Structure 1
């Protein structure tokens, strides 16, 4: 048989299937497409397309000024540093008495499920956050996203358990809940920023009145994604009190806490936690670099089992992890571990240049919005925006539907990308709001981008 004949023979079954022809007598059925309706219901949920849509749009409009991605500024990264960080960690292992065989095992083999650099992370939390946590209460994860999945899976035992989420809310946690078939109930952000304690109480009691159990509250206390808002410090303790009264655990996600525009005390909820009611999700994506895909969970809650068994929640999360990613890549941990060591386990100080960069970018963004939309025009058009105290994101309210089609028009006709806010509202809303991220652009791009964005907004409003 010639090569051409072989290719034709191999293609014949597929072509027959496309023509609707069945299998031959006694033969196996030809492959048919899987029905989306026979797969998990989350795959039909448009929420799962929120992140991929932005990536695809960025690819289609590579020359556009992109206010869409919430990723760090790449100007702070140097490829050669990866080798230096790895060497630093190897030197650290040698200084601790690890021989060649032990080092080889640490780097190349499956490692402990809870991770290999928990001691360095614990030291860093103590230095940066004043948070004293034993290394055994930590689980190193494949990004904070895995930490979310593990935490939600462990805490929510059945269909009666409900997760309260601040609204608008990061789609990563609502998406994770969707994958796990968990019900989420939104708690609107208060006017001062973050979920109001009284609103949390009301939401928990409403869930309970409906015959279900409010299990936990997910919140980003500092410069939240997507809104950019922060909880006032006094409200943080009140929130913990309200959650305790309602029997809620608090799942704190705080990747942006270092990036305040002005100095001032902003204790994490975990640092204020006196009841072990806060499960703290951490990430090195913004403070080190996202390519390492390294996060962690602080889960120091005690778990009581049958026969008097006592463990930490971190141990139970590790059991779940052993059936998902097995362990977090040792090479990623080694590189981040070396970075922590290089900076004496003080990432807040190491991130001072980045914090200054993001603060300056936010100031430029707010100034350019003010310049292009003076108060009389804002009132006439119905345009407004918030003024975040730090972080990566600000939100612009506009007099038209800021949906994916509008973003496409803006990218195509005006060379600017942004993020529609509607997917961040679990119960609907945000249709006339868009998120602007300042983290991965230069000041010049912000100036040019806001000018183009202003032309687009006026055209849509008109």
Structure 2
């Protein structure tokens, strides 16, 4: 990320397909934040809280597990068909903290390993490195996640005397590849989790801002409590709110021999890391959920339309600049995600930092080398394109510049 930021700063006039961030104008008027917070405070008062209790809830340290767990549990039921008690929810400072707390709670032994569907989001591998956790890559196939490959990797790790404790996946419109796990593969993944006794860490921040009907979440399909869901409001609302959550309804036994939920153990760890998620931020999210009558999806139709159009437009532009005969001749291809922020472009040259620097300096276009998203090695001839942060005009110019760069590199 430092390298990408440096390139962006050095070439401010370049069109950048690098940032995986939401489109700012979709956020609306900043003054609305105060309305959302007031709505949540009114909700507390309507529940019978005294003015002193409302003030304490907003201004004091709060419970490590959060103050809007009931609203989040309701929204999961209404938006996704996920039925869990509020006690199974821990409110976090974004999904990144949710990853850190969950991996720390699950993986403690020397022989425990974390499986990651690869290429993968760098946040999860960064967390693992920070905690000293061994990461084992589960390579995606040509169309994305492959349960048979996961089965092989698990058996190989067990043969080495290691224990896979969890497998991290982004099942919907993945970052970085853009791939989506099909329904049959989702069922197979859950069956493997039960058979091999590991948990699935489901991170799916792009569902509600993608067009069309989405496949069911892994957590909604989870009949054996094998899925821990990592959630975020950065894409559905806005990143600056820094509120995420963990859904962890797995029964565990604590150090005193008491039966409890995994969420309780995660909350204990959070109390030693950030104490609690900022109540002011939680109040804003709570107010939004209340305004949406419990649904986060009440606010996402404009974003879904915008990102869906951006993805379709980018693919149309690639088709225009690289018609079938031309892309076949020079060895260029790409996938066609149905949602999310990202797609993968395969190119006939080494797409490394040096190529990126040439692209930015000589052609005025920035992208992300896909090799950054592989824990070991891989992705040397593919790049990630993010379509979420650009206007239609910027997409037009950006793809034109990218096509000129790719054509020139292929000729080299």
Normalised to the residue count of structure 1, the TM-score between the two structures is 0.87
Structure 1 position 70, deviation (Å): 0.9
Kept after mapping to 1: 8 A contact 2:209/2:235? no
Q: Distance in 2 between matches of 1:101 and 1:405?
A: 59
Structure 1 position 307, deviation (Å): 5.6
Deviations 1:400-451 (A, max 9, x none): 1111222222122222111111011112010111111111111111011000
Q: Distance in 2 between matches of 1:215 and 1:87?
A: 42
Asked if residue 157 in structure 1 is aligned to residue 108 in structure 2, the reply is yes
SS class of match (1:166)? strand
Kept after mapping to 2: 8 A contact 1:228/1:392? yes
Kept after mapping to 2: 8 A contact 1:192/1:232? no
Asked if residue 406 in structure 1 is aligned to residue 355 in structure 2, the reply is yes
Kept after mapping to 1: 8 A contact 2:209/2:236? no
Asked if residue 275 in structure 1 is aligned to residue 224 in structure 2, the reply is yes
Residue 218 (structure 1) aligned to one of 142, 150, 168: 168
Q: 1:189 — aligned with what?
A: 140
Asked if residue 429 in structure 1 is aligned to residue 384 in structure 2, the reply is no
Q: 1:297 — aligned with what?
A: 246
Q: 1:388 — aligned with what?
A: 337
Q: 2:188 — aligned with what?
A: 238
Q: 1:58 — aligned with what?
A: 8
Q: 1:68 — aligned with what?
A: 18
Deviations 1:109-139 (A, max 9, x none): 1100000001111111011001111111000
Structure 1 position 228, deviation (Å): 0.2
Q: 1:347 — aligned with what?
A: 296
SS class of match (2:92)? strand
Asked if residue 112 in structure 1 is aligned to residue 63 in structure 2, the reply is yes
Q: 1:313-332 maps to which residues of 2 (within 5 A)?
A: 313-332=262-281
Q: 1:39 — aligned with what?
A: none
SS class of match (1:79)? coil
Q: 1:95 — aligned with what?
A: 46
Higher RCO, 1 or 2 (CA under 8 Å, sep at least 6)?
Answer: 2
Runs of 4+ in 1 over 4 A off after TM superposition: none
Distance 1:293 1:169, change over 3 A: same
Kept after mapping to 2: 8 A contact 1:228/1:388? yes
Structure 1 position 62, deviation (Å): 2.3
Distance 1:65 1:307, change over 3 A: closer
Equivalent pairs counted in the alignment come to 410
Q: Which has the larger radius of gyration?
A: 1
Q: Distance in 2 between matches of 1:96 and 1:55?
A: 46
Q: Distance in 2 between matches of 1:135 and 1:345?
A: 14
Q: 1:358 — aligned with what?
A: 307
Normalised to the residue count of structure 2, the TM-score between the two structures is 0.97
Q: Distance in 2 between matches of 1:265 and 1:284?
A: 18
Gaps of 5+ in 1: 1-50
Q: Distance in 1 between matches of 2:358 and 2:343?
A: 21
Gaps of 5+ in 2: none
Q: Distance in 1 between matches of 2:226 and 2:49?
A: 37
Kept after mapping to 2: 8 A contact 1:226/1:393? yes
Distance 1:456 1:197, change over 3 A: same
Kept after mapping to 2: 8 A contact 1:193/1:232? no
Asked if residue 417 in structure 1 is aligned to residue 373 in structure 2, the reply is no
CA RMSD of aligned residues (A): 1.2
